[in-house]
A and B are shown apart, each in its own frame.
Chain A
Amino acid sequence: MNARTLNFLGMGLVGVIGVAFLILTPRFAELDAVLELTIYMIMAILALSLALIWGYGGILCFGQSAFFGLGAYTYAIAMFNIGESTVPLLLAIALPAAFAALLGYFVFYGRISDVYLGVITLTVTLILFNSVNSTAGPEFHIGVARLGGFNGIPGIPPLNYPGNRTAVIDLEGMFYLSTAALLAIYFGLRLLLASRFGRIIVGIRENERRAELLGYDPRAYKLAIFTIGGALAGFAGCLFANWGNFVSPTIFGLAQSAQIIIWVIVGGRGTLIGPIVGCIGIQWLTTALGANQPSGSDWWTRLLANAPLVLGIILVAFVLLVPKGLVPTLGDFGQWLLRARTRRTTSALEPKQAEER
């Protein structure tokens, strides 16, 4: 079995599991579980946006939550002003993409090094957090939409079927939409990465100078992938604003930014499925820990109830013990098993035959 077949097998498996999950969940799960799973799907799209630009583009961006938050706010503000969701949805993708393109232009064409890129994107996120946080007064409004400062924007109208503002997408519909979007984006990115463009992006990640000396402009490729990442994060933000009908400045916060990076580290950089697994796993864990309210006063009950602490320990453990992340490490283990089996069959043959293999 070679790498190519394994690759197709993996994709097929993701497809089958994904479609089964999409169709079966609303039939068998309670509504609150469906609601919970919907947010996992939305966050997984956000995780994919960073998986793309960090794992494949080699760009460590602390600012995915900036694009995510912009998408959410854009949708909310446009929705209050327009009332029909087609244009707000498109704006929630286009505006973060344009913002990413602008930011990326200065960063990549200014030849700012990787470390500073992290610092700059984090700073931009925090600037957005502080700016939006200080818009509490009634004088801060865009059209009829009040920004609400730290209170956020409540009661955001939900998405509707394109062109028909009365046909609102309900909670179950949101699950279908988010899960289908996640699957479509996953396979879309697989296609993108298998294309000429995607392979050149990976080449630039591997050796930027060599790619340049072959005649590729790394700045243009990085800008393109960064913009796509911004668009995906914005789309996730739009779904998020729909899910809770609410958005507040914490969406730009440090905790949110860090979380996205943790998903990718735990799941594994350089894969697409890894960050999805990391995102869903960590969110499930966070929810489980949050639900586990301290009933006793033992130290370990209180420790387990402290979700950020547990997450921190998980992150440190992964960085130290499983630096490649969950999925790549499992992949390595699988290959090792495969090789071990080949070795056994080879040594069981006559020496002459073994040579011929």
Chain B
Amino acid sequence: MAAPLLQTRDLSMHFGGVKAVRNVNFTLAEGELRCLIGPNGAGKSTFFKMLTGQLEPSQGQVLFRGHDISHAHAHEIARLGIGIKTQVPNVFDGLSVRENIWLAATRIHPSGRVNDVVDEMLERIDLTGAAERLVGQLAHGQRQWVELGIVLSTDPELILLDEPAAGMTHEEVYKTAELVREINRSKALIVVEHDMQFIRMIAKQVTVFNQGSVLVEDAVENILRNPLVRDIYLGKQAVA
């Protein structure tokens, strides 16, 4: 059997005495869409940082299609095909929307084609009209879309989304869910999200983090019914 797209073995991260992530064994198949949930401080963002080379694991391994990337640099991992949209929009605030997308697209497209690719992406994220505006001047939701556009423009095999629906209006959340499903037709995704409505819209398989380790991994309908999960995290939200 071919190696899974992404696999972690006993992955751990210690900050001084604090174990932010401990012994996580996680596997993601090619083309899979996985949701990651868990209370604040459960280690989801730290986990993402280790997958993208922003933090070097204290212990354990990250394998991407069988290659060990545990100690690779962030830019090397990006070139292998892992893209990330961070929790707080991480964009080039002082540059125009078009320049933001261009900076991403120019890494993989030849100079003759890159402008067409940028135009297509602007259309796709619905920001053609705002193309020349500075990203720092856009509304929060729009900046989220810019970052999504940036990440998609480098055409990664695996996309990590850290709270893509945070701070969005109901309509924007719906649009984002639609986009995530569309992306999933050709790419694998891991999505960290708190919004249960959003998770219901997109998820099949869900992994629950608690206190740095994987608490449970199951299909979304079972997770929503799991009393343990309700206890630690969902509370009244799931009932509502």
Contact = CB atoms under 8 A, between A and B. Distances in A.
Asked whether A and B interact, the reply is yes
Interface of A: 3, 196, 199-200, 202-203, 206-207, 209-218
A214 B154 contact: yes
With a 10 A CB-CB cut-off, give which of B74, B94, B106 has the most chain A CB atoms. Answer: B74
B73 interface: yes
Interface stretch (B6-14, B95-103, B211-219): B95-103
Nearest to A211: B103
B78 A212 contact: yes
With a 10 A CB-CB cut-off, give which of A210, A213, A217, A218 has the most chain B CB atoms. Answer: A213
Contact of B75 (A199, A202, A217): A217
Interface string B97-124: 0010011101100010000000000000
Given A210-B150, A214-B104, A215-B78, 6 more contacts: A206-B95, A207-B91, A207-B92, A213-B83, A214-B103, A214-B154
Contacts of A216: 75, 107
Contact of A207 (B74, B93, B111): B93
Nearest to A270: B94
A207 B91 CA distance: 7
A212 B104 CA distance: 11
Interface in B188-223: none
Contacts of B154: 214-215
B92 A206 contact: yes
B103 A200 contact: yes
A198 B58 CA distance: 36
Interface string B124-165: 000000001000000000000000001000100000000000
Given A196-B111, A207-B90, A207-B92, A212 B103 contact: no
Contacts of A206: 92-95
A183 to B, nearest CB: 27
Given A206-B95, A212-B78, A199 B90 contact: no
With a 10 A CB-CB cut-off, give which of A196, A199, A215, A216 has the most chain B CB atoms. Answer: A215
B21 interface: no
With a 10 A CB-CB cut-off, give which of B79, B94, B99, B103 has the most chain A CB atoms. Answer: B103
Contact of B74 (A199, A202, A203, A213): A213
A217 B86 CA distance: 19
A214 B95 contact: no
B184 interface: no
Contacts of A217: 73, 75
B54 interface: yes
B52 interface: yes
B91 A215 contact: no
B118 to A, nearest CB: 12
20 contacts: A196-B106, A200-B103, A200-B106, A203-B92, A203-B103, A206-B93, A206-B95, A207-B90, A207-B92, A210-B91, A210-B150, A212-B73, A212-B78, A213-B54, A213-B74, A213-B84, A213-B86, A214-B107, A214-B150, A215-B107
Contact of A203 (B79, B90, B95, B132): B95
A210 B111 CA distance: 21
Contacts of B78: 212-215
A211 B132 CA distance: 20
